[in-house]
Amino acid sequence: MKRLVVIIALALSLGLGAYVVSYAIARCTFCRMPDTQEPSSWLQQEFHLSDAQYSQVKKLEVDYHPHCVEMCDKIKQSHLALKNLILANRGMTPEIEAALQKEGAGQAQWRADMLRHFYDVSQAMPPDEGKRYLYMMEAQVFEPTSNALAAPH
Amino acid sequence: MNPEHDQRLKALLRDWQPKADLPPRFESEVWHRIALNEERRSSWLNFDWLLQVTCQPRLAFAIVAIAILLGTGLANLQALRSYHHEMAASKVRYIQSVDPFAKTFLTSNQ
């Protein structure tokens, strides 16, 4: 009976030890997690970028970010103005039409800017990876919220 | 077969008395062992089989090796699952960081 207990205890402890060690090795090697504080670190992992390529991409991101924030504010203001106009009226008015046109023009502008940024980033990547990146990102140009809302569960 | 030989053989067998020294309580011991064996066979869920298995070094080693392999396999599977989950979350974070519409939409809906 003692022998049985010893062997089971040994199997359990070695199995658990193997789990802990293998998990740590996997997380340090082929399952390395991207930096959660740095959104663009995902690019380096996903598209296998070298340090030089990643720093170039990072520079592009840094240059693009203020513009993105500015666009974000413009879109917010435009949405709010349109929303207020829609709720303030009981029918279609020239003001609403003008606000809709402004909204459309704003959307076309940010789409063009975003696409320009995607092209710049893809050119900083190896050709095949750049192509894959563009393929992944073009959905954002057509359906902006599709990927952003598809958070994993 | 010769009937005379047959009768002689029968007479010989009748007279034959084997002289074997059996241990004391031999018969009851045999029945006891049979009963014990029947009992063990009928209730293998009492882990006696495990006791027997662990008495054999090869099988005991196999149990330990299987535990290690299972631990390693499960760890790799779990690491891969977390990795894919984290990569999907990172992709969403990246898109939110570059797409002003996604950023606006998400913040205005929170």
Q: Is residue A153 part of a domain?
A: no
Q: Do the domain assignments include residue A111?
A: yes
pLDDT of residue B43: 57
CA distances from B12 to B8, B19, B20, B21, B73 (A): 6, 15, 18, 22, 72
A51 and A22 in one domain?
A: no
In a domain, B6, yes or no: no
Q: Are residues A27 and A76 in the same domain?
A: no
Question: Is residue B59 domain-resident?
Answer: yes
Structure tokens, A31: 């399952």
What is the tens place of the pLDDT at every residue in A31-41? Answer: 777 777 777 88
Please report residues of A whose CB lies closer than 8 A to that of B79.
Answer: 22-23, 26-27, 31
What pLDDT was estimated at residue A130?
Answer: 92
- Cβ–Cβ contact B103 with A under 8 A: yes
Asked if A152's CB is within 8 angstroms of B68's CB, the reply is no
Selection from B23, B107, B42, B83 nearest residue A28 by Cα = B83
* Dihedral over Cα of B5, B8, B13, B14: its sign: positive
Residue B22's Cβ-count burial label (10 Å; 0-12, 13-18, 19+) is exposed
Give φ, ψ of A46 to 5 degrees.
Answer: -70, -40
Arithmetic mean of pLDDT over chain A:
84
Task: Of A64, A114, A10, give the one whose Cα is nearest residue B57.
Answer: A10
Range of the domain at A131: 37-148
Residue B79 falls within a domain, yes or no? yes
Range of the domain at B76: 48-110
A interface mutation test: which of B50, B51, B63, B104 has the most A CBs within 10 A?
A: B104
Residue B84 lies inside a defined structural domain of this protein? yes
Structure tokens at A49: 């970028």
Question: For residues A100 and A95, what is the distance between their CA atoms, to the nearest angstrom?
Answer: 9
- pLDDT tens-digit map of A102-139: 888 888 888 888 899 999 999 999 999 999 999 988 87
Nearest neighbour of B99 by CB, restricted to A17, A34, A140: A140
